[in-house]
Structure 1
């Protein structure tokens, strides 16, 4: 079983606005290296994962945030708001397919710092940003490094949360699909049939019931796709424990599976 870019385009890129969005993305000079990688990507490994696989990674991974506290992690605005040319989801999905499993944080760090593709996608750009901030703007080296750990670590936990949701809903009989192009370009975390799913966290950046933090939501980006899509959201309360993977409860997943399975 696999999901290719053609599956994404056939479902989501069927209107003037979505075709224009894809074309603009392809033509963006910042995406010159990105587009060929993402358009060639196929999702396979994630569909083979079991509940035990994901729990094992959550147990074995080191704390993705290390010893960094929020006040330090969010103290460098240029890193808090940093978006590399390759979206984090692109790098995570590429790493999964490369190693044939969901990586622990230490495995993901190794991929980003040692693998040629990982370096191009994340390792080298993150190092270059830190260097510029230290040399040209006088940011303390340790602070810039800590802020980058916070930025990447939180993105890693977000990806684990999405993988956990995917595996759990598929275990409940929902034929859920994912692809990094759908996520980064159309804000769709997953889909089944013509139902698009978003996973949101209710906190100061991701306000409960709102769209702050995701910019333009999938409901707006895909509003004119024909035949019309339907949309659903799994919303989590804010995480309460530092350095742990915050995942939906069984009750939340059961309710989501019931909604998705009824369509």
Structure 2
């Protein structure tokens, strides 16, 4: 029977079982930028409504969403180097999961964009810090249009990554696999989602990093190697997006292959 709720305590019970994982947790809990607001918020967050979504729900959002990157050009967005790797104290995954669970629906980009301005918690997590960073850069001489474009590129790509992840999870759960996820596992241990003791990573090839390389992002093996019993690790890798303005999702064949692999890994 597939689980219907995942808590932070579930995540820690499963993954906080190695010295490196415990070190990461301790550093996060003691980080001055995280301790006052981020830590208690994330530790209290449940993944629940997400498990009610179906692949059709995600596909409908992908068809009706405005394009999250708008008319922003990559060269303009990446010219503002301070925003290329920018993130607020709350990780993007924290914000996106909060919006999903609070709204009780998977939002389109336009709904998400409105919500993070109007909802006090979401504004605290993302809108306020993003606006403050834009204003800081403008004060240093960065053109306002370029700073806004770079921030939209940064947040818009995070939104698209979230849609892809939710799509894969709903597809695998529809295939009767007990796939689970939680923003604490993602942000802290780099676990995109998991099935039993198989940790899954969802990657998209890009121009900066080699194939099968997550670039600057630490990999879950760094936190979980040496666990007893051991974890297994599986990557689902997509090719580069071929169309601008269309949500880049795994093919039916990729989903089927991932489901087959996960079933094999769960076999006793």
Both proteins in one fold, TM over 0.5: yes
Matched, 1:20 2:50: no
Matched, 1:70 2:74: yes
Distance 1:51 1:211 in 2: 26
Matched, 1:51 2:58: no
Distance 2:225 2:86 in 1: 28
Structure 2 gaps, min length 5? none
- Tell whether the 8 Å contact from 1:112 to 1:119 is kept in structure 2 after alignment: yes
- Tell whether the 8 Å contact from 2:20 to 2:222 is kept in structure 1 after alignment: no
Indicate the SS of the match to 2:33.
helix
Give how far 1:211 is off. Answer: 2.9
Give how far 1:126 is off. Answer: 0.2
Which deviates more, 170-179 or 125-134?
170-179
Distance 1:59 1:224 in 2: 43
- Tell whether the 8 Å contact from 2:17 to 2:224 is kept in structure 1 after alignment: no
- Tell whether the 8 Å contact from 1:58 to 1:104 is kept in structure 2 after alignment: yes
Matched, 1:36 2:40: yes
Matched, 1:93 2:97: yes
Provide, for residues 184-227 of structure 1, a one-character-per-residue CA deviation record: whole Å limited to 9, x for no partner: 0000000011110000111123421223132x201122112222
Matched, 1:236 2:238: yes
Distance 2:71 2:253 in 1: 32
- Tell whether the 8 Å contact from 1:201 to 1:207 is kept in structure 2 after alignment: no
Q: Size of the alignment, in residue pairs?
A: 261
| 1:112-191 map, 5 Å | 112-135=116-139, 137-191=140-194
Aligned position for 1:246: 248
Indicate the SS of the match to 2:191.
coil
Indicate the SS of the match to 2:176.
coil
Distance 1:129 1:54 in 2: 31
Aligned position for 2:261: 259
Give how far 1:107 is off. Answer: 1.2
Provide, for residues 74-108 of structure 1, a one-character-per-residue CA deviation record: whole Å limited to 9, x for no partner: 11000111021100000000000000011111111
Indicate the SS of the match to 2:179.
coil
Distance 1:206 1:173 in 2: 33
Give how far 1:121 is off. Answer: 0.5
